[in-house]
A and B are shown apart, each in its own frame.
Chain A
Amino acid sequence: MSAPLGNPATDFLVLRDVRTHFDMGRTFWSRTSKGVVKAVDGVSLVIRKGEVLGLVGESGCGKSTLSRTIMQLIRPTSGEIWLEGEELSAISDKDIRHTRMNFQMIFQDPYASLNPRMTVMDTLAEAIRTRHPDLRGDEMRGRIAELLRTVGLNPAQMKRYPHEFSGGQRQRIAIARALAPEPRLIIADEPVSALDVSIQSQILNLLKRLVREMGLTMIFISHDLSVVGYVADRIAVMYLGHIVELGSAEAIVERPLHSYTKALMSAIPLPDPRAERQRSRIILHGDLPSPLNPPQGCVFAPRSPVTHDEWMKTHAPPFEEILPDHWAANCPFCVAKPA
């Protein structure tokens, strides 16, 4: 098997060779395209019910595009996305809004994602009505109060506007809104990156508790491997539109196979001066290559500390299960074969 294909009928969420490309358009005089950005380029993934899948990578690696593609906010160029036996990528634009109550999203910036002119109550009521269109009055208020209590806010504050809350509290409101339509899948796109460390840990604990208590499945996107390592059960590492490694959080953090994952891990500063002084750091050279003109073969070849041969520069490595439940793009120069 060359990729974790999964069974769309039985598995919770299945992505099959998903590609999301953006055409840069044409110049005025020329009939040729300026190029195509391959933001997501052949991602196959199976997400199990009840798990937290962490998605990590540098900015520009395609992790946000992938999450928006799963949300069907951007339609994939090709490939299939199946949620609980239903092919999302085949649902028409008209019907997708209704289906979306099953999968909701939490965005990075709680200052931008809430409507400043709507009270918390209105925001949540609108979201609840997607599933319960007839809920009114005391029943609705009761449901809103329950949601607010779930995310650790005081129900007495439901008539307030977003600007009356702090960043951490707003992110709680955004989480409550995502929970309101009773979704089965939550995609959290950098939910704590905009928050201070002391607030960050509160939100991470809340998300973990919600997944456990409400039986949710979550895709947790972050550029910070230490945050993902804490929250996620499994981690997928993305680079230039491809998943280069997938495995249990423990395996990815402690025994990474791919040299990109190793470099990413070694770049995280540890809050421990002695350990910092002793560790050897792999410093990658240069920036992420342009997705407009990605490398032909192994995507990591131009930045890898190991020089690749001509074959690997022109032939994409297969995504293979190298150890049980631990997958990687099997490039002989990037992946050290375990003994």
Chain B
Amino acid sequence: MALLDVSGLTTHFHTRNGVVRAVDGVSFTVDRGETLGIVGESGSGKSVTCYSLLRLIPEPPGRIEGGTAMFDGQDLLQMTPAQLRSVRGKRISMIFQDPMTSLNPYLRISTQLVEALQSHGDIDDRTALNKAIAALEEVGIPEASRRVRSYPHEFSGGMRQRVMIAMALITDPDLLIADEPTTALDVTVQAQILEIIRQRQEKLGTAVILVTHDLGVVAGTCDKVNVMYAGRIMESGTTEQVFYEARHPYTRALQKTIPSLQKKGQKLFTIPGLPPDLARPISGCAFYPRCPYPKLTGPDADTPLLRDLGNGHCHADCHSCDSSAPIESVLPQELETDDLVPAGSDAV
């Protein structure tokens, strides 16, 4: 049985401008020791998915409308606040993007690490402090026994993120959710942090959900990938399947927009238009208006279902566009002329 089995997760935000369908029927599983990457652009619902799992969505305006999230046999979405407290930070830990806003600036690192330990177990101060120092050493903080007395502002961005990792892993959780853990960091520090997460995962057998917008980070660290767009999963599968046998037009287009080190000199491929407004109902494939493939029909009436190709590789099965056509030939020069004006907004 999978460690985490999410099925039909739906989270909406009820705002003055209407209902924003931030997460719209998302299903996936994570096994022990496995790393799942969730990729997507901003607003694709990848962070809201993670926050929903730990019930960190501000309610109101947010509301988890449906679905289940079975974690080791228990539904996270049905738990009482007391049950949730025993899971959060103990069995499921989370690392956030910005380490400065997630550490308490008024408390020493030692206080914060010891608190994490003592709130989940009966452990005396001295043992807890020693464990905290050991945890900092394991994430590569030099002079841990002295630095544990420091305040967060005395650390650099990379060091703070190490402290966050130490804090998240100090309770030996079964699942670590990392929401853009390296986005605020330099590439050299990013490489260090990803390496630490990988090492700790190997040692402890922790399952990891890594949320990122960087396909490169996914390629290097994840076993499986979910590609999200407009609150839905467009494609999922092993990292190799998604990178080398991408089926969905969005995945393919996304890969072609990356100015990777390999292709130089030629014009970058662009996805025309903008992501859809989630406050408006989307009929059919959410990517349809921007899809670079030739359109065969109008958009479907129903949301395309995820179809399993038989080996765990799933993609939203949309028949409105001809995704068998080569992508370059269907993109005429005119489409590339940066025509960004969304349809219907020309009136002054």
State the A residues within 8 Å of B (CB).
58-59, 151-154, 156-157, 159, 166, 168-169, 172, 196-202, 204-206, 208-209, 223-227, 229-231, 249-250, 253, 263-277, 281, 283-287
Contact = CB atoms under 8 A, between A and B. Distances in A.
Contacts of B157: 59
Nearest to A227: B259
B285 to A, nearest CB: 16
Given A151-B338, A198-B271, A287 B189 contact: yes
B261 A270 contact: yes
Interface string B192-224: 101100000000000000000111111110000
B277 to A, nearest CB: 10
B296 interface: no
Nearest to B263: A230
B190 interface: yes
Given A151-B338, A264-B187, A267-B191, 9 more contacts: A152-B337, A153-B341, A159-B348, A206-B338, A223-B187, A263-B188, A269-B191, A273-B220, A276-B219
A205 B268 contact: yes
A183 B166 CA distance: 50
B243 to A, nearest CB: 5
A283 B191 CA distance: 7
Interface stretch (B58-66, B117-125, B250-258): B250-258
A318 to B, nearest CB: 25
B270 interface: yes
A206 B268 CA distance: 10
A157 B218 CA distance: 38
A154 B341 contact: yes
Nearest to B253: A198
Contact of A271 (B186, B188, B195, B258): B258
Interface in B37-55: 41-42
B69 to A, nearest CB: 27
A223 B271 CA distance: 24
B79 interface: no
Contacts of A157: 341, 345-346, 348
Contacts of A230: 259, 264, 268
Interface of B: 41-42, 142, 156-159, 186-192, 194-195, 213-220, 239-240, 243-244, 253-255, 257-261, 264, 267-271, 274-275, 336-341, 345-348
A264 to B, nearest CB: 6
A201 B257 contact: yes
B291 to A, nearest CB: 12
Q: Which 5 A-B pairs have the closest CB atoms?
A: A269-B216, A152-B338, A230-B259, A276-B220, A271-B215
Nearest to A151: B338
B251 to A, nearest CB: 11
Contacts of A253: 261, 264
Contacts of A272: 219, 243, 260
8 contacts: A197-B41, A198-B275, A201-B259, A264-B187, A268-B261, A269-B187, A269-B220, A273-B239
A166 B240 CA distance: 33
Contacts of A201: 257-259, 268-271
A226 B261 contact: yes
Contacts of A59: 157, 186
A190 B341 CA distance: 24
Given A204-B268, A269-B217, A271-B219, A283 B261 contact: no
B283 to A, nearest CB: 22
Nearest to A279: B220
Contacts of A231: 259
A159 B345 CA distance: 13
A287 B159 contact: yes
A50 to B, nearest CB: 17
A276 B214 CA distance: 14
A285 B193 CA distance: 11
Contacts of B217: 269
Contacts of B338: 151-152, 172, 202, 205-206, 209
Given A227-B259, A229-B259, A205 B187 contact: no
